[in-house]
Structure 1
Amino acid sequence: MTQFNETELTEAVVRSFDQTPDTRAKFLLQELVKSLHDYVSKTGLTFEEWEYAIDFLTRTGQKCTDTRQEFILLSDVLGVSMLVDAVNHRDREGATETTVLGPFYVGEHKVTAHGTDISPHNLTGEKMFVQSRVTDLEGKPL
């Protein structure tokens, strides 16, 4: 059986994707391997910690159904969903920050008439009136 040290093992696994026909998929898989191997090396991950992680991912997958996707919620909790959004909207200087629905999203908003007070009715304090326009970067209404 071939023996590998940490560096040789990572290089061998990266090379195992060399024949991936889709260039982008090949790049993504090879970079994923490098990052995961680097994480394991940097943290000194133990067998027990790895087993715990695998069990956590297994249980997460077991919670998924046709209408419940726990991995996207995990992505939200780890900040990956927002990072993907930020990476894909880098060139938006002057625009309102983009966002994605987070783990606490509970469905579509309740339709209300223009000017409706949307605060909970048991709040005290002075009401605030907000008037706004939604436009693109050139000021054209959306």
Structure 2
Amino acid sequence: MTQFFSEAASAEAVNARIGEDADERLREVMSALVRHLHAFAKEVQLTQPEWETAIDFLTTAGQLCSAERQEFILLSDTLGFSMLVDAINNRRPGAATENTVFGPFHVAGAP
């Protein structure tokens, strides 16, 4: 367990602070998120202004959300993340047509 935060061991330091009473699956998901997010920042050498722009973007998206409008789902769609989650949760044989989330071409119960 890493006690102190350093650039080299940043993810380990953060993940070491996850409470022992945390749900096991939540711990797995959040630990992986932290590892990948920290690896991304290191890979692109994220600058402070870039980080601030990202925070502003996420803040604005959150402020636009309402009961009728969910901007983070639209962001997930834009990044291809919604399709990836659908593909993971609805794996098909190699010769099958590609998955699609609900949309104009969705047909309930399609083979």
TM-score (norm 1): 0.66
Q: Residue 76 of structure 1 contacts residue 82 of structure 1 at CA under 8 Å; is this kept in 2? A: yes
1:5 alignment counterpart: 6
- Provide the C-alpha distance between the structure 2 equivalents of 1:21 and 1:40, rounded to a whole number of angstroms: 26
Structure 1: how far apart are the matches of 2:5 and 2:16?
A: 14
Q: For the Cα contact (< 8 Å) 2:4–2:13, is it kept in 1? A: no
Aligned to 1:39: 40
Gaps of 5+ in 1: 106-133, 137-142
Aligned-pair identity (%): 49
Q: In 2, are the aligned partners of 1:85 and 1:99 still within 8 Å (CA)?
A: yes
**For the residues of structure 2 that align with 1:4 and 1:22, how far apart are their CA atoms?**
24
SS in 2 for 1:31: helix
Higher-Rg structure is 1
* Misfit runs of 4+, over 6 Å: none
CA RMSD of aligned residues (A): 2.3
For residue 6 of structure 1, give the secondary structure of its aligned residue in structure 2.
coil
TM-score by length of 2: 0.82
Flag the 1:49–1:135 CA change in 2: closer, same or farther, 3 A.
closer
Q: Is the 8 A contact 2:61 2:72 kept in 1?
A: yes
Q: How many residues align?
A: 105
Contact 1:20–1:26 under 8 Å retained in 2: no
1:62 Cα deviation from its structure 2 partner: 0.6
Structure 2: gaps (5+ residues): none
